[in-house]
Structure 1
Amino acid sequence: MLKVAVGHSHDPDSLEAINEVLAQCSADLGEYQPQAGLLFAALEFDHKLILRQIDQRFPGLELIGGTTDGELSSVLQFQQDSLTLMLFSSDDIEMCAGVGRQISADPVAIAHQAVIDAQHHLTQPVQLCIALPESLTTSTVAILQGLESALGAVPIFGGATADQWQYRQTYQFYKTEVLSDAVPFLLWAGNLVFSHGVAGGWHPIGKPSQVTKVDRNVIYEIDHQPALTFYHYYLNDSEPDAIYPLAVFPPGETRYFLRGAVGYDAGSGSITVSGDVPENSTVQITDASLDDVVAASQTAFVDALSHYPGGQPDAALFFSCAWRRQILGTRAPEEYQAIHQSLKPAISSCGFYTYGEIAPFQHQGKTFFHNTTFVALLLGSRS
């Protein structure tokens, strides 16, 4: 059994907002006591106050969360500058929160050790990890490598925390702590079933090319030519940006993740993208219409639903890119509305707009860090 509760408020006052959210969650839970929770909050709230209120109402909650660039839920659908909380209660699923602090000092080693420490609190093997890492102080790809080195083949889902395009400081939540430069995560074990879908809406065009010189997220050469030359060939000398991201096929993979350009150096001909790129990856420029971008959310959800191994999921989590929200503009609410049309009967849902999304390509496969992408994760218990 997995009992799920969702609260969502757009009240600008932190105390009023969290009290409203907790009242909604308590009404959903009834007599059930939650074990764990996910909190997604806009930057302007008093996060310490909010975490104290949650702890007073549900002491010892295995809670993680972070700041966002927009929030989603089955209560208020798409919102900005709001606060949403999803709580979980189960008698046959274990949930344990963990955290790696000061992650930029050594992202691989610190993330690895944090998972090892958290696993000691579980009595069964880990089946799933939800992570909400820092996005500005270090490589999110390196953080994932650390998590994976401890988790093995366990799939990881989530999103990098955001700060509403200020690019100064994001915040992560762990139980009653407000942190930066951290990776909080929630480990799941026991009688859990889940499925997911990943879609972006952008389609590769042009001939496949190879990344021949790269340093983490700075691409210097494509096909042994300056990376800017590759972009200019397809974009008529326009500056690289997130509207036409790169489709990156890692070595040995037939599916691609997206990388949007965040800067370039005309002198070296290099392009800086929004996440690390493996050397010898195959890349193509991409294109999409706004309709394609909106439709991707429903594509991801329907794919997750078609692979769900149980009956009706108990919860849906959504992680969408902040770039998607910016590119869609006033059409951003349509991402959730497209999914809502498929929610029959309704599923308790929650999510946020991220600085990068985390999910495997396949339903059994390696986890990747994505950009300009929509991830849907369905959760439930095995009957």
Structure 2
Amino acid sequence: MQVSQHIWDADVVPPQWIPSLPAGQADLLLLFASVDPAAAISTLQQHFPDTPLCGCSASGEIHQQRVIDNSIVLTVLHFADTRIRVVTEPVNGIDDSYQAGIRVAQQLQQKDMQHILVLANGLCVNGSQLVAGLNQQLAPFNRISGGIAADGERFKQTWLYTSEGRFSHHICAIGFYGQHLSVSCGSYGGWDPFGPKRRITRARGNRLYELDDICALDLYEKYLGHYADQLPASGLRFPLLISGEDNDPVVCSVLGIDWQERCLLFGADIPEQHYAQLMRANVDRLIDGAHTACQQVRQQNQATPDFALLVSCVGRRVVMQQLIDEELEAFSETLGADIPVAGFYSYGEIAPNRGVGKCNLHNQTLTITTFTERTACTDC
């Protein structure tokens, strides 16, 4: 497996990729951007006319184990003995998210599938329903990871990028096939719950109206104090822990407010009769969570990965601020400093629970997906 990484330099004439794009074949282009990448994608179409591209808008890019902003980062992948297939699927309204997940899974499903990597628009796709559709079609297969496109703390517009252009209501999914590819995942948060658990007494889809028969927005504003004036952005500092009797707890972040209906909007379904509890951050715990996610990957595969994709929540970045590089340092310390790393800060993270369980949509979580290819020759 060959990996090269590049940053778009728009300040030179003409703008160009640094370092220069590699010659020869490429199987997949991964691109993450917090500025308009149209010119950059145009150069890729000329240089790699037959290579599929998949990427999205971000709240900050991860490039070679550092976080950068206002940039476009590219990873060029070439596999020795692994096949890939890329599909792009429209989502016809947020209520179509579940069926869109099924449609994507049907197109990618094959016997020797090793992994599916999924990227989706951030404000018009119900991430939990998308993952539920994937799980329904693929079960018991659970090797699915990816993330939800982001737009910083603005919550205005997210984009999905492919070789065909940019899209605002789509999913892009990549299937990886063959017996020579090993993919490992890790996922962990590190947030601390506080305050009482409250029963979700009124919710519809991704809209939360009442907790213990009290307006959820009123409770939220009460607990946030002076942060309430900064909603919805400040909601990234105070996610909700959603738990049921038969489900693993899931952390959900506020992505919007409907002031007219006085309800909170999330990127996932909020199930009635489950319990919700506010959470807050401790920076040391978030860094410890990054170490835990890395250790989950190490336990699954002792070999040094060829490439790692990191998707972390924008809420972690809001809280950690200038310390955000420390969650990437956790990766270097646990898995190695020389591994090519790319990724982005998202509105939602897709990964198996604890790296090996059922795939879920997460918030406020660092997720890691590592790819290691053993060539046919090596196995001889």
- Aligned ranges 1:113-132 → 2 under 5 Å: 113-119=103-109, 124-132=111-119
Structure 1 match to 2:159: 171
| Counterparts of 1:253 and 1:147, CA distance in 2 | 18
Structure 1 match to 2:274: 281
Structure 2 match to 1:84: 73
Superposition deviation, residue 212 in structure 1: 2.5
How many percent identity over aligned positions? 25
Structure 1 unaligned residues grouped into runs of 5+: none
| Counterparts of 1:194 and 1:331, CA distance in 2 | 29
Q: Deviations over 1:110-151 (max 9, x none)?
A: 3422432344xx6x4322111110111232223323333333
Is residue 70 from structure 1 mapped to residue 60 from structure 2 by the alignment? Answer: yes
The alpha-carbon distance between structure 1 residues 149 and 175, as it changes in their structure 2 partners (threshold 3 A), is farther
TM-score scaled by length of structure 1:
0.84
Structure 2 match to 1:9: 7
The alpha-carbon distance between structure 1 residues 288 and 125, as it changes in their structure 2 partners (threshold 3 A), is same
| Counterparts of 1:220 and 1:43, CA distance in 2 | 35
**Contact 2:89–2:171, Cα closer than 8 Å, also in 1:** yes
Superposition deviation, residue 186 in structure 1: 0.7
Matched residue SS, 2:117: strand
Is residue 150 from structure 1 mapped to residue 125 from structure 2 by the alignment? Answer: no
| Counterparts of 1:15 and 1:296, CA distance in 2 | 43
Structure 2 match to 1:189: 177
Superposition deviation, residue 68 in structure 1: 1.1
Structure 2 match to 1:302: 295
The alpha-carbon distance between structure 1 residues 268 and 376, as it changes in their structure 2 partners (threshold 3 A), is same
Superposition deviation, residue 58 in structure 1: 2.3
Matched residue SS, 1:276: coil
Structure 2 match to 1:378: 370
The alpha-carbon distance between structure 1 residues 59 and 253, as it changes in their structure 2 partners (threshold 3 A), is same
Structure 2 match to 1:108: 98
Structure 1 match to 2:28: 36
| Counterparts of 1:11 and 1:334, CA distance in 2 | 26
346-355 or 277-286, which deviates more: 277-286
Structure 2 match to 1:246: 240
Report the residue type matching 1:174 in the other structure.
T
**Contact 2:62–2:310, Cα closer than 8 Å, also in 1:** yes
153-162 or 351-360, which deviates more: 153-162
TM-score scaled by length of structure 2:
0.85
**Contact 1:100–1:182, Cα closer than 8 Å, also in 2:** yes
Is residue 201 from structure 1 mapped to residue 195 from structure 2 by the alignment? Answer: no
Superposed CA RMSD: 2.9
Matched residue SS, 1:136: coil
| Counterparts of 2:208 and 2:51, CA distance in 1 | 43
Q: Deviations over 1:235-290 (max 9, x none)?
A: 5797372222111124512443233464365x876433343222232222222222
The alpha-carbon distance between structure 1 residues 102 and 261, as it changes in their structure 2 partners (threshold 3 A), is closer
| Counterparts of 2:100 and 2:341, CA distance in 1 | 31
Report the residue type matching 2:167 in the other structure.
L
Report the residue type matching 1:214 in the other structure.
A
Structure 2 match to 1:19: 17
Structure 2 match to 1:259: 253
| Counterparts of 2:354 and 2:342, CA distance in 1 | 22
Report the residue type matching 2:115 in the other structure.
L
**Contact 2:349–2:362, Cα closer than 8 Å, also in 1:** yes
| Counterparts of 2:363 and 2:9, CA distance in 1 | 30
The alpha-carbon distance between structure 1 residues 15 and 173, as it changes in their structure 2 partners (threshold 3 A), is farther
| Counterparts of 1:261 and 1:184, CA distance in 2 | 21
**Contact 2:35–2:72, Cα closer than 8 Å, also in 1:** no
Matched residue SS, 2:334: coil
Is residue 369 from structure 1 mapped to residue 346 from structure 2 by the alignment? Answer: no
**Contact 1:297–1:335, Cα closer than 8 Å, also in 2:** yes
Structure 2 match to 1:135: 122
The alpha-carbon distance between structure 1 residues 141 and 14, as it changes in their structure 2 partners (threshold 3 A), is farther
Structure 2 unaligned residues grouped into runs of 5+: none
**Contact 1:317–1:377, Cα closer than 8 Å, also in 2:** yes
| Counterparts of 2:31 and 2:322, CA distance in 1 | 25
Matched residue SS, 2:246: coil
The number of aligned residues is: 367
The alpha-carbon distance between structure 1 residues 203 and 381, as it changes in their structure 2 partners (threshold 3 A), is same
